[in-house]
Structure 1
Amino acid sequence: MNKIVKQQQNEITEHLIYAELAKISTDKKNIEILYEISSQELSHYEFWKGITKKEIKPNKWKIKKYVWLAKMFGLSFSLRLMEMGESEASKFYSSIAEKYPEALTIQEEELQHEQKLIGILNDNRLNYAGSIVLGLNDALVEFTGTLAGLTFAFSNNKIVGATGLIMGFAASLSMAASGYLSSKEEEENEKINPITAAIYTGVSYILTVVFLVAPYLILDNPYLALGLMLLTTVLIIAGYTYYISVAKILSFKKRFIQMAVISIGVAAISFGIGTIIKQIFGVNI
Structure 2
Amino acid sequence: MKALLKAQQGEMDAVLLYQKLARLTKDEHAKEQFLQIASDEGKHASIIKGYTGKIIRPKSLKSNLVGTLYKVLGHNKTLKILASGEMKSIAGYAKLVERYPKIKEIMDDEERHAKIAMSLMK
Bin of the TM-score, shorter chain as denominator length: 0.7 to 0.9
- Between 1 and 2, higher relative CO (CA 8 Å, sep ≥ 6) is seen in 2
Identity of aligned residues (%): 30
- Give the letter for the 2:47 counterpart: F
Look up the match of 2:101. Answer: 101
Secondary structure (helix, strand or coil) at the match of 1:96 reads coil
C-alpha separation in 1, matches of 2:88 and 2:120: 25
Look up the match of 1:7. Answer: 7
C-alpha separation in 2, matches of 1:92 and 1:3: 9
TM-score calculated relative to the size of structure 1 = 0.40
CA drift at 1:88: 5.1
C-alpha separation in 2, matches of 1:31 and 1:89: 22
- Retained in 1: the 8 A contact 2:97–2:104? yes
Look up the match of 1:121. Answer: 120
CA drift at 1:10: 0.5
Give the length in aligned residue pairs.
122
C-alpha distance after superposition, 1:3-35 (max 9, x if no partner): 100000100111110001101222211111111
Look up the match of 1:26. Answer: 26
Higher Cα radius of gyration: 1
Look up the match of 1:252. Answer: none
C-alpha separation in 1, matches of 2:11 and 2:75: 19
C-alpha separation in 2, matches of 1:80 and 1:122: 8
Look up the match of 1:218. Answer: none
C-alpha distance after superposition, 1:167-226 (max 9, x if no partner): xxxxxxxxxxxxxxxxxxxxxxxxxxxxxxxxxxxxxxxxxxxxxxxxxxxxxxxxxxxx
CA drift at 1:101: 1.4
CA drift at 1:119: 2.4
Structure 1 gap segments, 5+ residues each:
124-285
Alignment of 1:205-224 (within 5 A): none
C-alpha distance after superposition, 1:14-72 (max 9, x if no partner): 11100011012222111111111111111101111121111112232211111111112
C-alpha separation in 2, matches of 1:98 and 1:50: 16
C-alpha separation in 2, matches of 1:29 and 1:5: 32
- Give the letter for the 1:38 counterpart: A
Residue 11 to residue 101, structure 1, CA distance change in 2 (3 Å): same
C-alpha separation in 1, matches of 2:87 and 2:121: 26
Residue 86 to residue 110, structure 1, CA distance change in 2 (3 Å): closer
Look up the match of 1:43. Answer: 43
